């Protein structure tokens, strides 16, 4: 179904079945990050591995084309990329036989039984990093627990974000001693040195004296809620610019059509990348890798995936650039981070279009509140750093041992 919406899913399809090029194999470290969010979460860890172990060859797999593009944006040719094979025994065997990783690091909660069991059979240590396991996900896994107990028990170590995550993981059968609470790597937000300068330029192009709200990572159905709130706000803030950045590129066109039907004056960044006219009302951010700088150019940031029961997205990129962040009530994938954000006064939660409009208005009409909320967000991110160091402490023995285990030769036999 995804291939019907995004033709990129049809490209490089042999990789989905383990038919991957062996040009740089064997690899010392294989990191799997399913999509954009996981790639960004993995970025600090990958950079640290490259820094401390420059002799290691790194392979990164993703499941989605957007994840692949984000990896290219983050690392260019520093690491190699292929798509992870589907979790079929033959495909996984073929992939491992060709790539020959000495160690595997899986980001967050991608529990693929065949991958784990095939790694165990080949004596490849598997470590999970930045693991979060919501109550809902744990309940789903428990229904088919018998399929996951053995794979989970084969994992060398789990670096989990919180104590509740650890308890849920153990309840599924993970070995208690293998589960370690390290915190969230997502607090390790690394800001490019040029970000502030680029954000100032974009702010100038959008209008320094007008109010700007950026709604990032929005999903189907959320744009209607945000547009309803925008309509309410326009009565009090007639110069308000709303920047909409849909989560999935295949929705850029449908969101554009939605805004056109709403009757607003709009433009897409791909068609108008520089200065925009002062009467522009909605700007569609149909580019890749710019959301963080868009947040930095805004007065207020909205984080999507949270106004409908999707589970939310990471609010820390907005907090790290000193912008008040607003999210909906459905943050079950980021329960702890969202609660810390509220407790620290770094952002607010809103329920429905009217409440969202009221919360945005509260920030737009009070510059002091905007400033102090943004400052609280930056301080919160800084004070919660440390997960990367704890995770590296878990990984280091395996990384140090991995170089001696990396095969020097190409595979001789692979499955039919």
Mean pLDDT of 379-394: 94
Mean pLDDT of 219-227: 98
* First vs last C-alpha separation in the chain: 28
Residue 107: the pLDDT is: 96
Q: How far apart, in whole angstroms, are the C-alpha atoms of residue 245 and residue 288?
A: 10
For 81-136, write each residue's pLDDT tens digit: 999 999 999 999 999 999 999 999 999 988 999 999 999 999 999 999 999 898 88
Strand partners, 60: 31, 81
Residue 415: the pLDDT is: 61
Q: How far apart, in whole angstroms, are the C-alpha atoms of residue 347 and residue 190?
A: 20
Assign 242 a pLDDT band (cuts: 50, 70, 90).
Answer: very high
Of these residues, 8, 15, 38, 400, which one is catalytic? 38
Assign 8 a pLDDT band (cuts: 50, 70, 90).
Answer: low
Task: Check whether the bond before 26 is cis (ω within 30° of 0).
Answer: yes
Residue 190: the pLDDT is: 78
CA distances from 382 to 32, 38, 413 (A): 27, 20, 49
Q: How many CB atoms lie within 10 A of CB 333?
A: 21
Residue 50: the pLDDT is: 96
Does this model's pTM top 0.75? My answer is: no
For 233-327, strand residue ranges (E) read 241-246, 266-268, 282-284, 300-303, 325-327
Residue 3: the pLDDT is: 46
Q: How far apart, in whole angstroms, are the C-alpha atoms of residue 278 and residue 160?
A: 47
Q: How far apart, in whole angstroms, are the C-alpha atoms of residue 20 and residue 12?
A: 9
Residue 237 vs residue 66, higher pLDDT: 237
Phi-psi region of 105 (alpha: psi -120 to 50; beta: other; left: phi over 0): beta
Share of the chain above pLDDT 90, in %: 80
Token representation of residue 300:
């207020």
For 276-305, write each residue's pLDDT tens digit: 999 999 999 999 889 999 999 999 999 999
Assign 1 a pLDDT band (cuts: 50, 70, 90).
Answer: very low
User: Domains of the chain (ranges plus CATH)?
Assistant: 2-188+386-405 (3.40.50.11720), 195-383 (3.40.50.2000)
Mean pLDDT of 409-414: 52
Could you identify the residue written with the tokens 């040719």?
77
Residue 73: the pLDDT is: 81
Assign 186 a pLDDT band (cuts: 50, 70, 90).
Answer: confident
Is 38 part of the annotated catalytic residue set? yes
Residue 125 vs residue 72, higher pLDDT: 125
Residue 413: the pLDDT is: 54
Assign 416 a pLDDT band (cuts: 50, 70, 90).
Answer: low
pLDDT of 5 > 60? The answer is no
């Amino acid at each position: 179904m995804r291939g019907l919406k995004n033709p990129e899913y049809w490209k490089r399809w042999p990789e989905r079945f383990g038919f991957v090029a062996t040009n740089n194999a064997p690899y010392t470290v294989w990191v799997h990050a399913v999509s954009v969010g996981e790639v960004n979460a993995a970025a600090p860890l990958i950079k640290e591995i490259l820094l401390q172990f420059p002799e290691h060859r790194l392979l990164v797999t993703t499941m989605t084309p957007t994840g692949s593009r984000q990896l290219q944006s983050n690392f260019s040719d520093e690491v190699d990329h292929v798509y992870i094979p589907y979790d079929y025994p033959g495909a996984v065997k073929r992939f491992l036989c060709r790539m020959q990783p000495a160690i595997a690091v899986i980001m967050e909660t991608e529990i693929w039984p065949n991958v784990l069991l095939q790694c165990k059979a080949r004596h490849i240590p598997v470590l999970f990093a930045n693991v979060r396991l919501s109550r809902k996900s744990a309940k789903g896994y428990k229904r088919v627990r018998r399929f996951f107990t053995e794979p989970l028990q084969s994992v060398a170590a789990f670096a989990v974000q919180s104590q509740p995550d650890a308890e849920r993981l153990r309840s599924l059968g993970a070995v208690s001693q293998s589960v370690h609470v390290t915190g969230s790597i997502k607090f390790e937000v690394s800001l490019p040195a040029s970000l502030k300068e680029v954000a100032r330029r974009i702010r100038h192009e959008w209008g320094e004296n007008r109010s700007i709200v950026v709604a990032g990572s929005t999903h189907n159905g959320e744009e209607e809620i945000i547009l309803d709130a925008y309509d309410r706000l326009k009565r009090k803030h007639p110069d308000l610019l709303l920047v909409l950045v849909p989560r999935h590129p295949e929705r850029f066109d449908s969101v554009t059509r939605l805004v056109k039907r709403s009757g607003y004056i709009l433009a897409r960044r791909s068609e108008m990348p520089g200065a925009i006219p002062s009467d522009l009302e909605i700007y569609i951010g149909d580019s890749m890798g710019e959301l963080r700088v868009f947040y930095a150019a805004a007065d207020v940031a909205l984080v999507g995936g949270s106004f409908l029961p999707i589970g939310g997205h990471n609010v820390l990129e907005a907090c790290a650039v000193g912008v008040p962040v607003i999210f909906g009530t459905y943050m079950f994938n980021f329960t702890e981070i969202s609660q810390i954000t509220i407790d620290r006064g770094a952002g607010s939660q809103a329920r429905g279009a009217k409440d969202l409009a009221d919360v945005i208005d509260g920030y737009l009409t009070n510059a002091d509140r905007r400033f102090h909320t943004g400052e609280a967000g930056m301080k919160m991110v800084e004070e919660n750093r440390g997960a990367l160091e704890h995770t590296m402490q878990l990984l280091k023995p395996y990384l140090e041992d991995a170089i001696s285990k990396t095969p020097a030769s190409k595979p001789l036999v692979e499955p039919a």
